[in-house]
Structures are given as structure tokens and as C-alpha cells.
Chains A and B, each alone.
Chain A
Amino acid sequence: MALAKRIIPCLDVDNGRVVKGVNFVDIRDAGDPVEIAMRYNEQGADEVCFLDITASHEGRETTVHTVEQIAEHVFIPLTVGGGIRSIEDIRTMLNAGADKVSINTAAIHNPELVRESAQRFGSQCIVVAIDAKRVDDVDGLPRWDIFTHGGRKPTGINAVEWAVKMADLGAGEILLTSMDRDGTRNGFELGVTRAITDAVEIPVIASGGVGTLDHLVDGVILGGADAVLAASIFHFGEYSVPQAKAYMAEHGIEVRR
């Protein structure tokens, strides 16, 4: 009897359509974000995450409109991320109906944005997204650094230290994506997941690499994640959210049903 571990389907949205790439390259069209979000809501998803990968300015306006529509029809928490750079961007998304906003690259360029936005809007709505890639130390010890630009650009920042710093600045949650695993369906990178969940007091969402229901179980039990995020296993109908929850419950994980 405790807080349930959350299952969060993620919609990667480009110009108003849900897409999901394999290592961000092969992009498949998975449909209308509002319809898909409503379907997950009906299936009993605990939250929905909306990741905007649209590059253009016009596309950004489409995103705001889509978020408004989702918020009108979906009565579970909605996190919006992608291209959030300023207090104004955060305000726009919260006003459109997002419950939380996820900040990624902008936090690296300007960590103060995390502090300011947490003070202004409350930590509960500030999620810091970390894209980590295994680099390893010269002596072979495991180490994960933060990469930007879809995993192409190294920053030299240690992901675990960064997570601690973000929590200190007021982030309410960490969304951790393994760039080595994202889109591979080989499961979460459990080492970095465990290292970060042990290092911070705030909840951690594991993301990147889910291909089977066992991966979700591993993320919680071995990785220590408070929530697990997945995209493709749900979008293309391989598994439903209730199936995922039933499987997690069979493995002793507390879920909402």
C-alpha cells in the first residue's frame, strides 16, 4: 500500500503528428496526438508525456494548440517538453494546459532557468530532462555524460552530478533518457538509472529503450525508477497499458488499476 509506480506513454510529436524514430532517424507516423492521448487516458495510463520535436516556429504554434486540445479531453497529468527555452515558453505551455514542463538543453545553457521557473511556478511543474550517454572513465569505471542535439553533441557534464544540481535548483522530477538505448528496444540503461535514483530525493522517470514488459519491471526494480516512460511498444499496439500494469503487478510492483 503505497504510491503507485507510474506508466507514462510518450508522444513524440512533429508538426502535429505522433512519430517515433529508432535512434532518432527512422521516423514512423503513429497518428493524431489528441486521439492517442485520449486512448492512453482510457487505458489507464498514469500520465502522458508530449515531446515536441518540431523545429519550425509555425510548428510550435501547432503544438500549443495540440496541448490545449489534449488538456480539454484528458484528465490525467500532462508533461510537455521539447524546445522549452524561457520562462515565457513555460508559461505558454502551462497556460495551454500542461501540468509539467520538461526543460532539457536550456537548463544546460542556463541552469538559473530551473531555479527561476521553480520559484515562479513551483517545483511540481518543473521536470529536468537529461539525455545521458555512457562514456566511461579512462580507468574503465562506468560514467555517463550529458549529450545534446539528439545525442550527437557531448557537453562533458556528468549526468549524475547534473541531476543532483538540478534537484538542488528546484527541479521537481528528472526525466532520464539513455541515448545509447533510445529507440533500440534493448531495455533501459539500468546503471545510470540506478545511479541517479540513488543520488536524488526527487522522483526519476526512466526512459529510452523499452521493447518488452520485462524492461518496465527492470526499470523499477533494478533501476529504482519512480515512473517508466515508453513510446513505441504502446503506439503500435504491441502492448496495452493494462497489460503492462498487470505484468508489473505480477512482479510485485504497486500500480494503479
Chain B
Amino acid sequence: MSGIVAVIDYGMGNLHSVASALQHVGADEVLVTNDADLIRKADRVVFPGVGAIRDCLSEIRRLKCDELLAQALTEQHIPVLAICVGLQAMMTRSQENAGVECLNMIPGEVRFFGNPLKDAQGQRLKVPHMGWNEVHQHTDHPLWAGIPDMSRFYFVHSYYVHAQDRGLLAGSVDYGVSADAALARDNLFAVQFHPEKSAVAGLTLLKNFLEWNGQC
């Protein structure tokens, strides 16, 4: 039983895909909301994100979604899944939009991929990092259950996360640099890729999230 899954809505872009993917893998009830009372009743929380980080953060703060996220993580102790800009917003700061202070819930930086970006063979790499890339699993986390190591997930981003505490690294992706693809800490799992757009591998991860008790 997944119970109620609250997808935190701070008004930036389409949360439809996340909600329908969660329903597709058997969520009992999915609420797309920023209502504190509803989120307090939720059994798990998804913190999504799409778009430019400065705008996202200003809406997150204006709607007090950062407080809701903190509450889910440290008071309710329920499983939380952060996705893409949701993950980036939780870091300390980002180089995007000429430098933005983020929520500092996970110490670390969001860095630009660089321009020009080259792979180990000196081949030019396009930015944004857009498409299906292989995720190297660093831990045996319950959210990786049934997903072969080096499975491809769908990425679309120009900035990448580098957490200070390398012990949090649950998955990485090589794209000119080694970028953090997944971070895990207690009841939080945060991914740079889009599980809701990653076909079978992504849907498996979402299904694992619905079954996760929030422990590593």
C-alpha cells in the first residue's frame, strides 16, 4: 500500500506526468498540492521541478513549499523523492541564473556543465545533457531494486549536482564530468533524471518508491 502520495506543486510547469506515472505504477492516491494540511496527511512526498532555478526557488519560498519539504523530511519522517530541479533546489547554491542561493538542505553545489564540454576522447558534448544516459549505481538502495546497474534514464539539464558528502552518492552519470545522478540520505532519495519519463527503468524506480519504508 502506497497510501497518499503528495506531489508538491509550486506552480512551475507540468506535474501531470509525475502524477500519471505514480498512478500507473499503483499509487493509492496522488494529490498534486501545496496545501500544508493535505501534505501533513500524506504517506509520501514527491518534490518535482522543471524550469529555471531562480523562478522555481522564488515560488518554492513564496508558497512555503520549502517548509513543507522540511516537515516531510524531519518531522513526518516519510519517504521523499526529489526530481531534477527539485534535487537542485535542495542544494546549497547553483551557478544557474548568474548564481542562486538554494535551500541548503543538502550541502553541495549545482554547477554548469561547461562550454565547450568534451568527453574522455576529446569529442564535443552538447549542452543541455539531453537524452538517455547510463546511471552507475553506487549503493544497494531499495529504490534500485530490480533495475540493472548502468540502466539508461532520461536526463535533461544544463547544470549538474555535486554533493559535498560523497557518502550520499547513490548513482552517478558520466557526461564530460562525473555528475551526481542520485543522492540518498535517510528517508530522502533525490534524482537528477526524470523517472516519470524513463520508460521501464523509471517506472520501476517509482514503484520501488511507493513500496519504500524510508530506510536505506
Q: Does B203 contact A (CB under 8 A)?
A: yes
Contact with B along A235-249 (1 / 0, CB 8 A): 000000000000000
Q: Provide the bound-state CA to CA distance between A214 and B133, in Å.
A: 24
Are A75 and B197 interface neighbours, CB within 8 A? Answer: yes
Which B residues are CB-close (under 8 A) to A71?
16-17, 20
Residues of chain B within 8 A of A41, CB atoms compared? 199
Q: Per a CB cutoff under 8 Å, which of A1, A122, A227 touches B131?
A: A227
Task: Report yes or no: B50 in contact with A173, Cβ–Cβ below 8 A.
Answer: no
Picked from A3, A76, A98, the residue with its CB within 8 Å of the CB of B14 is A98
Q: List 25 A-B contacts (CB under 8 A).
A: A3-B125, A3-B131, A3-B175, A4-B131, A46-B131, A71-B16, A71-B20, A73-B20, A75-B196, A75-B198, A75-B199, A76-B199, A94-B13, A96-B14, A97-B14, A120-B55, A121-B13, A122-B13, A122-B85, A124-B128, A172-B128, A201-B116, A201-B126, A226-B126, A256-B132
Does any Cβ of A come within 8 Å of B162's Cβ?
A: no
- Whether B203 and A124, one on each chain, are in contact in the complex, defined by CB atoms closer than 8 angstroms, is no
Contact with A along B88-132 (1 / 0, CB 8 A): 000000000000000000000000000110010000011111111
Given the known interface contacts A119-B52, A121-B51, A124-B130, the answer about A4 and B199 at a Cβ–Cβ threshold of 8 Å is no
Q: With the chains together, A73 CA to B199 CA distance in Å?
A: 11
Q: How far is the CB of B133 from chain A (nearest CB, A)?
A: 5
Q: Which residues of A contact B157 (CB under 8 A)?
A: 124
Report yes or no: A201 in contact with B127, Cβ–Cβ below 8 A.
yes
- Docked Cα-Cα span, A99 to B194, in Å, equals 11
Interface string of B60-99 (1 = CB under 8 A from A): 0000000000000000000000000100000000000000
Bound Cα distance from A73 to B16, whole angstroms: 11
Q: Which chain B residues border A95 with CB–CB below 8 Å?
A: 14, 16
Residues of A within 8 A of B (CB): 1-6, 41, 44, 46, 68, 71-73, 75-77, 94-99, 119-125, 172-173, 201-203, 226-227, 256
Q: Which of B52, B132, B134 has its CB near the most chain A CB atoms (within 10 A)? A: B132
Which are the 8 A-B pairs with shortest beta-carbon distances? Answer: A122-B51, A256-B132, A124-B156, A4-B132, A97-B16, A256-B152, A72-B20, A203-B126
Q: Indicate which residue in B127, B128, B133, B156 contacts A4 across the interface (CB closer than 8 Å).
A: B133
Nearest chain-A residue to B136 (Cβ)? A1
Q: Mark B173-206, 1 if CB is under 8 A from A, else 0.
A: 0110000000000000000001011110011000
Query: Does B147 count as interface, using CB distance less than 8 angstroms?
Result: no
Min distance, Cβ A197 to any Cβ of chain B, angstroms: 9
Give CA–CA (A72, B16) in the complex, Å.
8
Q: Are A44 and B199 in contact (CB under 8 A)?
A: yes
Interface size of B by Cβ–Cβ distance < 8 Å? 40
Q: Any chain A CB within 8 A of the CB of B24?
A: yes
Q: How far is the CA of A95 from the CA of B13 in the complex (A)?
A: 7
Q: Summarize B's interface: helix, strand, loop or mixed.
A: mixed
Give chain A residues whose Cβ lies under 8 Å from the Cβ of B133: 2-4
| Smallest beta-carbon distance A176→chain B, Å | 14
In the assembled complex, the Cα of A231 lies from the Cα of B150 at a distance in Å of 30
With contacts A94-B14, A124-B157 taken as known, whether A4 is within 8 angstroms of B152 at the C-beta atoms is yes
Expressed in whole angstroms, the Cα–Cα distance for A71 and B127 within the complex equals 26
Q: How far is the CA of A76 from the CA of B132 in the complex (A)?
A: 10
Q: Which residues of B contact A124 (CB under 8 A)?
A: 50-51, 128, 130, 156-158
Q: For A73, list chain B residues within 8 Å (CB).
A: 20
- Residue of B119, B174, B202 touching A75 (CB-CB under 8 A): B202
State the Cβ distance, B11 to closest chain A Cβ, in Å.
11
Q: How far is the CB of B78 from chain A (nearest CB, A)?
A: 24
Complex CA distance for A2 and B175, rounded to whole angstroms = 7
